Amino acid sequence: MIIFPAIDIIGGQCVRLVRGDYATASKVAEDPLETAKKFEAAGAEWIHMVDLDGAKAGYPVNTEIYKNIAQNTNLKVEVGGGIRTLETVQAYLDLGISRVILGSAALKNPQLVADAVERFGAEKIVVGIDAMNEMVATEGWLETSNVHYIDLAKEMIKVGVKTFIFTDISKDGTLSGVSIDQLKKLADATKGQCNIVASGGVHTLDDIIKCRDLGLYGTIAGKSLYQGTLDLAEAIEAADTVKIRKMEIADYEGAYAIWVACQNGLNNLDDSREGIEKYLKRNPDTSFVAEENGVLAGVILCGHDGRRGYIQHMSVAPEYRRRGIATRLLNRALDALKAEGIHKAALVAFKNNAGGNAFWEQQGFTLREDLNYRNLALADMIRLDPDYR
C-alpha cells in the first residue's frame, strides 16, 4: 500500500483544513518544496497535493508550486483542485505531474473524465470522491449532491477509471480515525475493478494498518504528519505489503503471464519452463520476484557470465505499476550481482520501448550505440559501477 503525504495549498502556503471548511485553514509548514523534500527523505515515493484556491475558483491557481516540486524532487506528484478541462490536464502532465485528480468534474461532467482516460490513460487520471453523509460533495466541498459515493464510483468505472481517492469529509483534518466502514463498503462494491486510496481522519499507525489490511491501494496522510501523531517512515514500512524474494521455478507460470501482459519479447526455447529452469540453476541467487498477498506483481530475471551481468526480463504487472516495484527489483538484482563480484550489468534496449528505455537511463544505465540486435535493438544498455575493474 502506498502512503501519500499531503500538501494542501492556499495562497502559496501549506495549510490544512478541518472538514473542508476554508475558515479553519491553518498553516502547517513554511515552504512547500522543502516540505516535499523532507517527505522524500523519509522514504515517500508519491506526494498528494491539492490546490484549494483552484478548487474554489474552478481553475488552477498555484501551478508553479506543483511544477517546482515535480521538477526538483524525485517524487511522483498527483495534483487536484480546479481541473475542469482536458487542456488543464495536459498542461499539468507537461509540467511533469504524474497523475491528475478530477473531482467535481466526475459528477458534473462525466464525459470529461471519459475523454481524459481515453486520451491520457487510466494511470494518469484519478477521480476524487468526497462525501458528506455518504453523498458526493463538489466545488471544494461547498456543494452537496444527492448522488451516493458508491454509485458515482460505479459510473466512473464504466468509463475506464481505475483509481479513486475517497474522502469522508466529516473525518478530514480531524485526526479522528479513517472511515473504515465506508471504505469497506466501497471496496466490497468495486472488488477487483479499481484501486482505492483512503483520505481523511488518519491519526496514528493503527489507521495505516487498518487500510492496509483492507487491501487498499493507498492512504493519504496530512495533519497527522504535521502534528507528529504519525511518523512517515514508520507508516511507509507498515504499509509495505510487497515483498521481494528470490525467484523459484514454481514462479514460472506467474512470471510468464506477466511477461506476456507486458508484451516482452519471448522465444520458445530460452523462455520455456525448461529454459528458465536451466537459467535459474546457472544463477540461483540473482533473479527475484515481487509478491503481494501471494500474487506475483513483478519479476526480474538476471544472471551473469562471471564478468558481466545481464538482465533477460524485467517486468511489473500493469495493475502494480507506479509503486516503485521495478526499482526495488532492479536494486535487489544489482546488489546480488555485486555480492558475486559482478559490477557491470547490461540489457538489450529496443527502439519501440521509449518509456522502458527512459526508466533504465534514470537507473544509471547508458547506451552503447555500436550494437544493433536483429535490427530491433536501439543499443546495449550498460550500467557500470565506479568500482568495477
Catalytic residues: 8, 130
Half-sphere exposure of residue 275: CA atoms within 13 angstroms, side-chain side:
11
| Burial class, 34, CB count within 10 angstroms (exposed 0-12 / middle 13-18 / buried 19+) | exposed
Question: Residue 165 carries which side chain, given as an amino acid letter?
Answer: I
Residue 183 has which C-alpha cell?
A: 471504505
Residues 6+ apart with CB under 8 A from 75: 36, 39, 40, 44, 45, 46, 47, 69
Residue 340 has which C-alpha cell?
A: 558475486
Smallest Cα–Cα separation from 220: which of 146, 130, 298, 294? 130
d(CA 18, CA 27): 12
Would you say how long the chain is, in residues?
Answer: 389
